[in-house]
């Protein structure tokens, strides 16, 4: 969805006959992008974006072209099976209900906030005939008091893009949440730092390498809501103050690479700096899931997998909770 911002703004400015299409309900298809959406230009017969590898693009263009001048929504049922799914390189067939809305019915604020990279949700309420819709933007995780607002807050709290369909008194309500992407702050350099950065980017996250406590503080403070600190440096003048700051700011993930001896040394430094037990328990060190990682590439995977699991609120088998050798 964030990748459609500039195109959506341009189409609105040009007065093009544009529509936003995204799923309301889904069954099948295998693994799919929870942020999948496509912009459709009904008059020019083209689409921009990614939704089910384009297998329904022509159908969505036709549906958009058939909408009435006063319609602000249309829910289309689409499905794909067998050879057509294979040809589209989908994992498997499936069916979905896809919501089409003219761009004029989407608040401009939605595109502005998405473009800024902040966490934001869109709540769209459809009438019983699903030909009328009203969309509103939800920013704060506790700002709205109805079921849709609460669900938007829950989805934003997972820090992963997600959608949910609720059924209210007047009809269907689509909740779409796009939290800020995890911002991996890597303290220290070397081969592992570069591999973690590449792994993070592969996941659609952001990543930055920092070399000292001052630089780290600026970055973490600026992006505290999305920052995930991965401390690789063993320099006491760098690791302890940076870990302490990240804990104080309540960033979503704090981890530190090192042997159990180095982990103990860092803990002592944090205690001496006034960090309490509850905060110390938030430090993932030794860092990473217990995957049996040996190589730098495997270690980078284990670290990013732990970040993913922590942000998703999962129960994890982490190196921090084991007693054996780290690289075994």
Task: Write the pLDDT tens digit of every residue in 83-110.
Answer: 888 888 888 999 999 999 999 999 999 9
* 12 and 133 both lie in a single domain: yes
- Report pLDDT for 314: 76
**Which of 160, 178, 196 represents a domain boundary (last residue)?**
178
Mean pLDDT of 65-77: 91
pLDDT interval class at 192 (50, 70, 90): very high
* 168 and 203 both lie in a single domain: no
Domain that holds residue 109: 2-178
pLDDT for 159 beyond 80? no
* 149 and 70 both lie in a single domain: yes
* 126 and 141 both lie in a single domain: yes
* 146 and 262 both lie in a single domain: no
Mean pLDDT of the chain: 90
pLDDT for 328 beyond 50? no
Mean pLDDT of 162-190: 90
* 106 and 254 both lie in a single domain: no
pLDDT for 185 beyond 90? yes
**Which of 178, 204, 222 represents a domain boundary (last residue)?**
178
Burial class of residue 136, CB neighbours in 10 A (0-12, 13-18, 19+): middle
* 205 and 162 both lie in a single domain: no
CA distance 40 to 7: 11
pTM of the model: 0.72
* 26 and 113 both lie in a single domain: yes
139-148, 202-211, 235-244: the lowest-pLDDT one: 139-148
CB atoms within 10 A of CB 25: 16
Q: 293: which residues sit within 8 A by CB, 6+ positions away?
A: 299, 301, 302, 327
**Which of 155, 178, 201 represents a domain boundary (last residue)?**
178
């Amino acid at each position: 969805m964030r990748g459609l911002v500039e195109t959506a703004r341009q189409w609105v400015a040009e007065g093009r006959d544009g529509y936003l299409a995204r799923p309301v309900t889904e069954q099948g298809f295998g693994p799919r992008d929870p942020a999948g959406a496509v912009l459709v230009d009904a008059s020019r017969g083209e689409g921009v974006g990614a939704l089910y590898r384009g297998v329904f693009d022509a159908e969505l263009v036709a549906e958009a072209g058939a909408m009435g001048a006063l319609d602000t929504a249309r829910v289309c049922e689409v499905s794909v099976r067998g050879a057509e799914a294979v040809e589209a390189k989908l994992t498997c067939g499936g069916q979905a209900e896809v919501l089409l809305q003219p761009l004029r019915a989407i608040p401009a604020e939605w595109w502005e906030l998405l473009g800024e990279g902040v966490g934001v949700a869109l709540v769209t309420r459809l009438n019983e005939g699903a030909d009328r819709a009203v969309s509103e933007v939800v920013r704060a995780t506790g700002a709205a008091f109805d079921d849709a607002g609460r669900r938007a807050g829950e989805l934003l709290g997972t820090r992963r893009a997600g959608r949910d369909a609720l059924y209210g008194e007047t009809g269907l309500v689509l909740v779409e949440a796009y939290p800020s992407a995890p911002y991996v702050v890597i303290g220290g350099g070397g081969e592992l730092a570069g591999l973690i950065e590449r792994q993070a980017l592969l996941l659609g996250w952001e990543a930055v390498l920092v070399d000292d406590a001052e630089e780290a503080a600026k970055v973490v403070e600026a992006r505290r809501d999305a920052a995930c600190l991965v401390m690789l440096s063993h320099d006491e003048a760098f690791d302890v103050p940076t870990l302490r700051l990240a804990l104080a700011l309540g960033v979503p993930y704090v981890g530190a690479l090192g042997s159990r001896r180095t982990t103990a040394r860092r803990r002592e430094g944090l205690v001496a700096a006034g960090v309490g037990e509850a905060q110390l328990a938030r430090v993932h060190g030794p860092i990473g899931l217990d995957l049996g990682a040996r190589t730098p590439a495997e270690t980078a995977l284990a670290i990013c997998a732990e970040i993913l699991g922590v942000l998703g609120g999962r129960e994890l088998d982490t190196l921090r909770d084991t007693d054996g050798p780290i690289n075994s």
